Amino acid sequence: MEQTRERLLNTAADMFSTQGYAGVSMREIARVMGITQAAIYHHFPSKDALYIAAVTFVFEKQTLEISEQMSAIDSPAERLVLMISAMLEAMEEDPRFRRIYLRELLEGDEQKIAAIAENAFTAFYEPLYQLMGELAPGSDRQLHIFSLAGLIFHHLEARKLAPHLPHANEGKTTIPSLARHITNLFMYGVSS
Amino acid sequence: MEQTRERLLNTAADMFSTQGYAGVSMREIARVMGITQAAIYHHFPSKDALYIAAVTFVFEKQTLEISEQMSAIDSPAERLVLMISAMLEAMEEDPRFRRIYLRELLEGDEQKIAAIAENAFTAFYEPLYQLMGELAPGSDRQLHIFSLAGLIFHHLEARKLAPHLPHANEGKTTIPSLARHITNLFMYGVSS
DNA sequence: GTCTATAACATGATAGAC
DNA sequence: GTCTATCATGTTATAGAC
């Protein structure tokens, strides 16, 4: 079955994205899969190859899913709202992409950073670059894209911090409310 | 000498912050220190204890350094400028705090997340919570604090991504220019 | 495609000399 | 305060049977 390979990719991606490369052993992956560690080597020649395949698998899935929803038909402001919602929803449904992205940003060497730039960003980057040019002509578009990414990534991860902080709200932060908050801040700033 | 202990804390913090807990071995730390692995156990009883001590060491240093610069004498808008600059400069000079924070946010269990909330945020959180109330009365202050943190953390890490992306600027992004960008966006939004 | 068995090495931790 | 030596275990990876 070619199905085992995909299940292996999914399992490995789950574990690598939350525990990191060094934090996951082949035995652990095999145990979760319900097979022995040696069996993995029938599908991938090394831990490194499995990691790269799993990361590529997740990145392609996520960039495809998001870029599908990036229609260019609306006005710039409407397009921003749609893009923010689409990114939040896709990265909420599958947290693996954002976690691998953030982790590689922390510890990745030059080569992996370059791979991230090529694989992860090309799908979003051009539509966003175009959009920033319409929303704020003459500005540094790359800085604005990094700002938007920072808002989205950090809000999604920081939610688990919220209940432990002073002045915590009682209710959970929903994705639609996050989308509203980020859109407003990005468009009009804190005083909006 | 009590100096060895501090040098050990610094070395371990450097390595843990960039490679993560599982990515660093006691032998590697010892090799960088120029001693043998067994000697570490004279200072700390386990790898876990060393990690916790190193993280606490870095967090106390950073929160002290930043909270010193958070004067409450200026107008809200001026205070925002000063806080953003202070955080960017402190976290640029010593990247360990922000890296450990981001990593623990990714893979920390409930207990470590609670410890982060208590140790890392209390120093910034109250002054920022106060500030947000003045800048945007009636808004969700916690969401705004998370937004500001996301902007600062992500911009600092994303710089290494910039040269690999399309439309890259020739010059490097400086801390003052980052401070201006973040302040403007946070105050007035993208159209400022 | 998965198993058992094993090789070759790395890891956290301890004992005891100096 | 650091060393050498060692233990028990965990690690990636391979060989070969089924």
Indicate yes or no: pTM above 0.85: yes
Alpha helices in B44-75 (DSSP H): 47-67
Residue among A154, A160, A178, A10 nearest A86 (CA): A178
> Which residues of chain A lie closer than 8 angstroms to B160, CB-CB?
105, 113
Torsion angle in degrees (nearest 10) through CA of A112, A116, A119, A123: -170
Would A67 be classed as within a structural domain? yes
Mean pLDDT of B107-113: 94
B26 part of a folded domain = no
Tokens for A80, please give them. 């921003």
- Quick check: is B119 in a domain? yes
From the list B82, B92, B64, the residue with the least C-alpha distance to B152 is B92
**pLDDT value of residue B70:** 81
Query: Across the interface, do A166 and B141 touch by the CB < 8 Å criterion?
Result: no
How many Å apart are A61 CA and D15 C1'? 36
In DSSP notation, A40-101 reads HHHH-SSHHHHHHHHHHHHHHHHHHHHHTT--S-S-HHHHHHHHHHHHHHHHHH-THHHHHH
Structural domain includes residue A184: yes
Is there a contact between B113 and A146 if contact means CB atoms under 8 Å apart? no
Rg, Å, chain A Cα set? 19
Does the residue B20 lie in any domain? no
Mean pLDDT over residues B177-185, rounded?
Answer: 98
Partners of residue B106 in chain A, C-beta under 8 Å = 18, 99, 102-103, 157
Instruction: Please state the domain count of chain B.
Output: 1
Rounded distance in angstroms from the CA atom of residue A34 to the C1' atom of nucleotide C5: 19
Q: How does pLDDT run across A79-96, given as a tens digit for each residue?
A: 999 999 999 999 999 999
Strand, coil or helix: what is B54? helix
Q: What is the pLDDT of residues A120-169, one digit of tens each?
A: 887 889 999 999 999 999 999 999 999 999 999 999 999 999 999 998 87
Instruction: Decide if A41 is inside a domain.
Output: no
A118 DSSP assignment: I
The tokens for B130 are 């106060």
Chain A nearest C-alpha distance from B174 (Å): 12
Span B22-74, pLDDT tens digits: 999 999 999 999 999 999 999 999 999 999 999 999 999 999 998 888 877 88
| Residue A149 resides in a domain | yes
Here the CATH number for the domain that contains residue A122 is 1.10.357
**Distance (Å) of CA A6 to CA A1, A41, A97:** 10, 14, 16
Of residues B33, B43, B23, B88, the one with CA closest to residue B62? B88
Q: Which of A127, A58, A137, A118 is nearest to A86 (CA)?
A: A127
B132 within a domain of the structure (yes/no): yes
Residue B40 three-state SS: helix
Residue-number span of the structural domain to which B70 is assigned: 48-188
